[in-house]
């Protein structure tokens, strides 16, 4: 087996572990949210609970301040002692979370008065305790990713989500009124704490323990890790706000349109899960290449395999927006299908920018990740309000345009750092199976009945056969194999 074949099998094996886990995790969150909405019958109580969860979710983006990302890079490249890096990350993340929780406790009464919700401060105070547990949970997740234990990392993520949502829901059938808010947040915090304890125990079983605190030295180590991790952390914060921001902008004109935009954003987010599965393994996999040419090869392989999966999913959203929107959310939201093709294309293009930013981070250039995300965030932040009278379609076009600019900037940065992508290998050849299947898919939609089923079956068969032949059975078409890979193992 050639070195390229070994790398390809390594990527596919780990992505096949990560992707189902991501879907299960997302399904658990969706089901938990649906049950929460059904069991908290009072609209005002549910509104207070939703506000508390929203504030805690936004605060959760600030947990870690980049230390988990730096830990992934340190463990993958072995550039410093693992126990020291792990200890510094745990202590730094916990200290930052403690400061964040204190700030939340201070601002909670102000939020309660602002929204006229007297029970909101107590709910935020109780829920903030769970943020303290999120810090070690995020760091252990980063440690497992850096150690390339992807299956275990996803398993613990699902366990933590199940514990958080399970214990959040347990009290609700037994308590009613305003007490439900505090009990739900308390149960969620207990679940997060339980998940953190399990993850800490498991990492210790794998032999990774915190090095003792060293006076003076920890600060210097933390500064080095933050120099790498903070740009990635800021980039993640910037990319996470855009869907909610679009919904808020559309909502300034019509609350009903905001609901449709929110549903379209959620639905198009399914595409993100495909790229996220590859991103989950990208940094440690690419960073472990000894030479830059090997890192470039590994990055292109991630791009290529991601596109074989991403193109047909994106095409389905572009071809069948009305069918998907009404099937998931009901016919009342059929008008929001107009947003879906542009949002889906924007999410696809954002995958180019995000996976490219992971290549830059794996090459040690974490500031490149931030530059990529700032460009998209600024474009959406300024452009969406200017297009606010477009009824949602113009705002979706701004979202797509922002990510196109960001992706072009990413490709330029990669080429500048001698990590340029080969267009045929990465973008064009993976598109062939989807292009071949699209005529059959369109025919299936128009014909209907038995003929439609036959055309749909033909589309799936053509897609599967060509994807296997081009993507899985022979991944070196048109791509020279560098000498550096000849003696390199996938996990080296």
Dist CA 485 CA 446 (whole Å):
48
| Both structure tokens of 224 | 């080095």
What pLDDT is attached to residue 475? 43
Q: List, in order, residues 6 or more apart from 374 with CB less than 8 Å away.
A: 235, 238
Dist CA 441 CA 464 (whole Å):
13
| Both structure tokens of 424 | 């045929």
Nearest to 303 by CA among 340, 268, 353: 353
Q: Which residue ranges of the chain lie beneath pLDDT 70? A: 1-2, 30, 33-34, 36-48, 50-51, 54, 79, 115, 177-178, 210-218, 244, 248, 251-259, 388, 390-391, 472-492
pLDDT in tens, 243-262: 767 776 776 666 556 667 77
What pLDDT is attached to residue 165? 83
Q: Where are the alpha helices (DSSP H) in 40-63?
A: 43-60
Look up the pTM and report it.
Answer: 0.76
User: 434 and 312 in contact (C-beta within 8 Å)?
Assistant: yes
Residue 291, classed as helix, strand or coil, is: coil
User: 406 and 372 in contact (C-beta within 8 Å)?
Assistant: yes
What pLDDT is attached to residue 50? 66
Dist CA 261 CA 258 (whole Å):
5
What pLDDT is attached to residue 254? 63
What pLDDT is attached to residue 32? 72
What pLDDT is attached to residue 431? 93
Dist CA 424 CA 416 (whole Å):
19
DSSP-assigned letter for residue 63: T
For residues 188-207, one letter each, b for 16 or more C-beta atoms within 10 angstroms of the residue's C-beta and e for the rest, the string is bbbbbbbbbebbbebbeeee
Phi first, then psi, for residue 448 (nearest 5°) are: 70, 175
Phi first, then psi, for residue 489 (nearest 5°) are: -90, 165
What pLDDT is attached to residue 345? 93
User: 380 and 395 in contact (C-beta within 8 Å)?
Assistant: no
DSSP-assigned letter for residue 430: G
DSSP 320-345: -HHHHHHHHH-GGGGGGGGTHHHHHH
Q: How far is CA 206 from CA 193, 392, 409, in A?
A: 20, 49, 40
Dist CA 207 CA 80 (whole Å):
16
What pLDDT is attached to residue 414? 93
133: left (phi over 0), alpha (psi -120 to 50) or beta: alpha
pLDDT in tens, 431-462: 999 999 999 998 888 887 888 889 889 999 99
Nearest to 69 by CA among 241, 259, 284: 284
User: 261 and 333 in contact (C-beta within 8 Å)?
Assistant: no
Dist CA 314 CA 388 (whole Å):
25
Nearest to 303 by CA among 363, 352, 368, 350: 352
């Amino acid at each position: 087996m050639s070195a390229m074949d070994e790398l390809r099998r390594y990527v596919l094996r780990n992505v096949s572990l990560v992707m189902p886990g991501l879907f299960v995790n997302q399904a658990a969150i969706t089901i938990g949210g649906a049950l929460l909405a059904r069991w908290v019958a009072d609209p005002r109580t549910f509104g207070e609970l939703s506000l508390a969860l929203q504030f805690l979710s936004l605060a959760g983006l600030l947990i870690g301040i980049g230390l988990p990302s730096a830990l992934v890079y340190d463990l993958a490249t072995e550039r410093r002692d693992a126990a020291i890096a792990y200890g510094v990350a745990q202590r730094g993340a916990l200290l930052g979370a403690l400061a964040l929780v204190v700030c939340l406790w201070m601002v909670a009464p102000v939020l309660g008065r602002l929204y006229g919700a007297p029970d909101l401060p107590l709910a935020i105070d109780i829920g903030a305790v769970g943020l303290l547990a999120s810090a070690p949970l995020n760091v252990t997740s980063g440690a497992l990713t850096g150690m390339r234990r992807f299956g275990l990392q996803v398993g613990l993520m699902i366990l933590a989500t199940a514990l958080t949502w399970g214990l959040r829901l347990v009290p609700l059938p037994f308590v009613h009124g305003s007490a439900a808010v505090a009990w739900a947040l308390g149960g969620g915090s207990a679940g997060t704490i339980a998940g953190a304890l399990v993850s800490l125990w498991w990492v210790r079983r794998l032999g990774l323990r915190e090095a003792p605190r060293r006076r003076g030295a920890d600060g210097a180590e933390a500064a080095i890790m933050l120099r790498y991790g903070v740009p990635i952390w800021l980039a993640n914060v910037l990319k996470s706000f855009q869907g909610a921001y679009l919904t808020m902008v559309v909502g300034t004109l019509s609350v009903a349109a905001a609901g449709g935009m929110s549903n379209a954003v959620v639905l198009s987010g399914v595409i993100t899960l495909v790229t996220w599965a590859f991103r989950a393994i990208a940094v440690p996999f690419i960073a472990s290449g000894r030479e830059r040419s090997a890192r470039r090869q590994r990055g292109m392989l991630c791009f290529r395999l991601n596109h074989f999966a991403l193109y047909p999913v994106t095409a389905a959203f572009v071809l069948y927006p009305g069918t998907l929107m009404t099937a998931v959310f009901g016919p009342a939201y059929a008008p929001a299908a107009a947003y879906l093709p542009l949002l889906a294309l924007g999410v696809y293009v954002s995958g180019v920018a995000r996976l490219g930013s992971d290549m830059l981070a794996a090459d040690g250039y974490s500031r490149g990740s931030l530059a990529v995300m700032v460009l998209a965030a600024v474009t959406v932040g300024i452009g969406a309000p200017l297009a606010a009278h477009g009824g949602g379609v113009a705002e979706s076009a701004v979202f797509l345009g922002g990510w196109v600019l960001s992706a072009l900037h990413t490709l330029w940065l990669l080429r500048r750092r001698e990590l340029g992508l080969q267009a045929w290998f990465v973008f064009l050849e993976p598109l062939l199976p989807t292009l071949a299947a699209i005529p059959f898919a369109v025919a299936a939609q128009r014909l209907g009945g038995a003929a439609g089923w036959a055309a749909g079956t033909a589309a799936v068969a053509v897609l599967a056969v060509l994807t296997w032949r081009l993507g899985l059975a022979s991944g070196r078409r048109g791509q020279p194999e560098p000498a550096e890979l000849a003696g390199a193992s996938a996990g080296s």
